[in-house]
Structure 1
């Protein structure tokens, strides 16, 4: 669908547009805060295998923080935040450290290319998560012209220097400076040459300054995008209380697009491409490419389609991915993601869109996730989530191709969407969460870096291969392949549930009926002495016990849907009445005993699945909410301890546990009724 034409209004620089489709998830309702705006990312059986690639030295803030430091989030091993490849065919990689350095990396070994502290006496990285030497990008013709570009921040005497754009604040806290460097010898491993200032922006606060500057690496020489520099300029911390990101007369909360070697731009140190969307609009900066952003963190282009994607950090609730096009307006500070944002709202929440939303022409995310702060957490404070945009993978790993990969940079979760599903004007694409493997073992990045705050971002080399950059321990990891969770060969021995009562051993036989291939728990179970465990189940005692095993069956919950805690269970790894695993599939997912994977080991059942969030008191999405038949599949890989539970083909729950290495399978419930049919267990005989 083509984008509607916009009518541009110079007053206050606001953009007003003809109607765009309102996302289905944002249909207007009552004007009340939305407590849980978006569904959680779903688990994926795909796991990224990662290997350590490079270790960077510890670096310090400039100036050093007081003791104790006011913001512990700044105290990192090294504040490395990106990785790319120098576009000269040398294979050299580059990595900036916010604390004052740009490194080159060859064969996993790093050395300093430029030291900002030595170059800029007013260099500042002591406050603000993005302050310091924020980003570096090399001109696509660097091999010939030796030009590369950096962004850094200054304080102190630096604030007295003339700016390209002054802040509306009387006392700006920082200046963001884009610098052009020209290397005397582009092939040298240490910079020597000249530099000049391209742009200097005054920032009201220490946050949301310029995040990324970059060239489209896939633009061909002579094309409209070749040698054009994109600049992701945040709102300077002002968007929560002002409309600056919606105003076309300033650079805040915008993506700018400039010709860094031109001269017709503001201040005469860069040029404005003639095809920029607001060129010639009264009161508008011709440098602007798109507007309405809070903290545009990372952007990239898909080499297969040419589309530009932006990972955008929200205020208190929504982290979003946008499909960036000329003239877009992402709504901040009137919208947060696809929801209404109210400036100075004491609840710091989001609200349903108004009925007349289409008239504003805001462009909504093609993928998004929310923060889910724990109960009692102050909604106006940081809940520890922030997106870092990534890349559409087009490298050598077949199973990753076509996936847009990105991170929650704070907690180190790694996500993907299918690029083919990220379509404007359609429902947002489903977000999936990767598993992570290192040294053959499943892990996560909090474990890998030894810190609850990972500060994780993606990088990419010229071949499209992926790297993960962690501030917490100053390491870079390379993505080396894909491993599927619970993908063990389960064996070829198969046992079915047919054969009537002779095939099954129920806890209470009078409560059960066996009809052909159906196993029916007709009467609710009752609590029994001993550890807390399912009240009533039947074990399939035909055939051998299994080590690796997979159970496939169809289940139906016969308890009326009005009962919210209705459930059935699939038993596996069964050794005795007090030693077994079970997968609990339930209508409820808000209390500990429901909708999870559990181990009973001569003690009360212990929840072992990855999906349970103790702080939120919430697990995987409700498994079964009706009285229809549903396919349930449980796989147990005894050698790795990996356990997966799928409902109707979708991965619902995962766990890794080594309590039981072999056992039988079965079906049952706690105090509900239900049935299974076509029950079959396939595995390796113990």
Structure 2
């Protein structure tokens, strides 16, 4: 079986046990509307519109891969155990062309024409350096003074441990029971041209946080400010809420730095510790009981900020949300983004972690500033509503370069977890107006192959970041494999691989290009049901680099593992819920008048497989499982619509097998042609089975063409009466073998599968033929 590493889990790995997890039942207030008119009506889908899938794509060329690194102390959280933890790339402002790259685990690299040097190592430099817990702990960021070439000055932020908290005086009182401190340091290099630091240092800011999350993220200078400008030489600090905002108003409190953007003058001395100054133009300098350093408030986790080098030089912030909204804000002096009373454009309630609520009628009185662009998490239907669904914005850059004209005027950013890359048009990001539309960019390698970031890194969790150089060239970097890519071109990609006719009835679609970033043993659904598919027993190792059609890069491998023992270890996939409501997200199949099961299949091993439930080595199963929709009362085997190989009068045949009424009889339509001709070994074949429950008809298709066949059961076993199936939700899907609850072995398929689709209609032959052609020529 082919193996490819795809995933490092975000949470504790959820092992596949004898029973697959049932769709979660949300706690808290039950939602009643997605467009609620009352503030007591929860919103389940705050941003219903999905990002627009653009045909525009970035061409990525590998720039450099930096060395492996480890956390201090050694990490136990899998999210921190990566190739390394590089988190930005920028250019040293001295016209040398050298690029700088901080690694949260300690090293600061200088890269010159892909030749790398460790300039300074924080793990070695600081006795109390800490990077072993928390996504942002460690050497977080570095920024160079705009006059670095002359003065050799640069600034960094890093984390220190509890021993430092006991012995070091903070700039402002630490959060109660702090466990980690963020420390901002000024460095002065003896020789700014050297590739290894020697010189002096002084601490200018220190603050402690009560959890290991949401500390100081980015620190930076306004790169658009010129000598003589008010903002020139002032240092911005993006300070998180320390993880306390979910249960407090800390981000709204003006007497502490948490949940704020600060602006300080590192050359001044009138700050509380005398190590920096407070700019007189800061918005709260004259506000009683407010810190003069505060530039903007109301933030949970201000991740990355940047300035547009043209126009009004707007400052844009990528802000990581709590449970639903990832947002881009335009930041101006004195802004309040509302956390933790607001998340995005919605009311956040601490007592209800699952949902957001409409804004109150008097919202304008509070003066909150709302995002200029945003997307929501859309957690899978069968994933706990109060669990991490694997989304966090990675703030990006405004492209104003000249080499890539199709990118000009676009703010390019992404999701740091799943690696999707987005853009918005800067001239559509307007404060106080409708959010700018989001577009998802395609990605290509330099050979023209369309890939996703998960393909570039070989992992379902990407840990994506963005950077830029003095020519405004864009860079993408990933912790998962420690690689940096430069955007060297753009190109137009093909259209969607799914036709419009199929899309309108596509309940579930798994193309195995979208591993669920939180759990690599799950596959994300591209259909309307948004239901996770579980890769049973093999988990992430079931994904293989083998595409059935142009543009497909991955498939899954299913099959028998140990034919001599009924050990319940066969590789298969499925969804299972034997609760009274079945799989609620599959309600499109409740009473449906038709169904279609189709996908790509390639036989790769022995089929049918030896029967592991008997001791006779010559005993083989009498069926080979492909894919099907279970009935509403299924024990994991009875199906509503099934594509499979089964024994028909002593001969294995490709069949469509369906059941209209729960517990009722099934009907089978069998292909006349030998199955071995229909599914030759090691050859990708597209198969489809359709089921019209109102007329009692079925059909089979191979590579877009109908197959001749016959019904195996005489009469009317479906009891056709002109209506659809039973008024129950299916209990799930089974793929590659029987019983997706994984309590027994039967009918494995030693094969690969790609782009499996489940429709709530009996698709016409023309629709299936069009979809087959689309796969090959989209």
TM-score (norm. length: structure 2): 0.62
Tell whether 2:57 aligns with 1:50: no
Tell whether 2:27 aligns with 1:35: no
Alignment of 1:273-312 (within 5 A): 273-305=279-311, 306-312=313-319
Long gaps (5+) in structure 1: 1-24, 488-549, 551-580, 594-606, 623-637, 644-654
Two-structure CA RMSD over aligned residues (Å)? 3.3
Tell whether 2:585 aligns with 1:585: no
The one-character-per-residue Cα deviations of 1:316-345 (angstroms, maximum 9, x if unpaired) are 111000000000000001001111001132
How far apart in 2 are the matches of 1:265 and 1:274?
Answer: 11
What's the offset of the Cα at 1:590? 5.9
Q: Does the 8 Å contact 2:373/2:437 carry over to 1?
A: yes
Q: Does the 8 Å contact 2:449/2:551 carry over to 1?
A: no
Tell whether 2:39 aligns with 1:131: no
The one-character-per-residue Cα deviations of 1:326-375 (angstroms, maximum 9, x if unpaired) are 00000001001111001132x43211111111111100000001111112
Q: Does the 8 Å contact 2:73/2:132 carry over to 1?
A: yes
Where 1:585 maps in the other structure, the secondary structure is helix
Q: Does the 8 Å contact 1:26/1:353 carry over to 2?
A: no
Where 2:501 maps in the other structure, the secondary structure is strand
Aligned counterpart, 2:527: 619
Tell whether 2:208 aligns with 1:202: yes
Q: Does the 8 Å contact 2:36/2:43 carry over to 1?
A: no
What's the offset of the Cα at 1:621? 11
Aligned counterpart, 1:315: 322
Are the structure 2 counterparts of residues 335 and 154 from structure 1 closer, same or farther at C-alpha, using a change threshold of 3 Å? same
The one-character-per-residue Cα deviations of 1:183-228 (angstroms, maximum 9, x if unpaired) are 0111111110000001001111110000000001121111011111
Aligned counterpart, 2:411: 404
Q: Does the 8 Å contact 1:405/1:416 carry over to 2?
A: yes
What's the offset of the Cα at 1:382? 1.5
How far apart in 1 are the matches of 2:462 and 2:512?
Answer: 22
Aligned counterpart, 2:431: 424
Q: Does the 8 Å contact 1:422/1:428 carry over to 2?
A: yes
Where 1:177 maps in the other structure, the secondary structure is strand
Where 1:473 maps in the other structure, the secondary structure is coil
Aligned counterpart, 2:468: 460
How far apart in 2 are the matches of 1:294 and 1:158?
Answer: 25
How far apart in 1 are the matches of 2:373 and 2:87?
Answer: 23
What's the offset of the Cα at 1:672? 9.1
Q: Does the 8 Å contact 2:414/2:420 carry over to 1?
A: yes
Where 2:118 maps in the other structure, the secondary structure is strand
Aligned counterpart, 1:233: 239
Aligned counterpart, 1:268: 274
Where 2:475 maps in the other structure, the secondary structure is strand
Q: Does the 8 Å contact 1:234/1:295 carry over to 2?
A: yes
Aligned counterpart, 1:473: 481
What's the offset of the Cα at 1:416? 0.5
How far apart in 2 are the matches of 1:385 and 1:63?
Answer: 26
Alignment of 1:550-589 (within 5 A): 583-585=499-501, 588=504
What's the offset of the Cα at 1:423? 0.5
What's the offset of the Cα at 1:34? 1.2
Aligned counterpart, 1:162: 169
Alignment of 1:354-433 (within 5 A): 354-395=360-401, 396-433=403-440
Are the structure 2 counterparts of residues 188 and 670 from structure 1 closer, same or farther at C-alpha, using a change threshold of 3 Å? same
How far apart in 2 are the matches of 1:314 and 1:184?
Answer: 41
How far apart in 1 are the matches of 2:485 and 2:214?
Answer: 27
How far apart in 1 are the matches of 2:105 and 2:314?
Answer: 32
Are the structure 2 counterparts of residues 587 and 444 from structure 1 closer, same or farther at C-alpha, using a change threshold of 3 Å? closer
How far apart in 2 are the matches of 1:61 and 1:281?
Answer: 41
Where 2:165 maps in the other structure, the secondary structure is helix
The one-character-per-residue Cα deviations of 1:461-492 (angstroms, maximum 9, x if unpaired) are 011101111100011111111111128xxxxx
What's the offset of the Cα at 1:611? 9.4
Greater mean deviation of Cα atoms: 29-38 or 125-134 = 29-38
Greater mean deviation of Cα atoms: 375-384 or 239-248 = 375-384
Aligned counterpart, 1:258: 264
Q: Does the 8 Å contact 1:373/1:379 carry over to 2?
A: yes
Task: Give the total of aligned pairs.
Answer: 517
What's the offset of the Cα at 1:276? 0.6
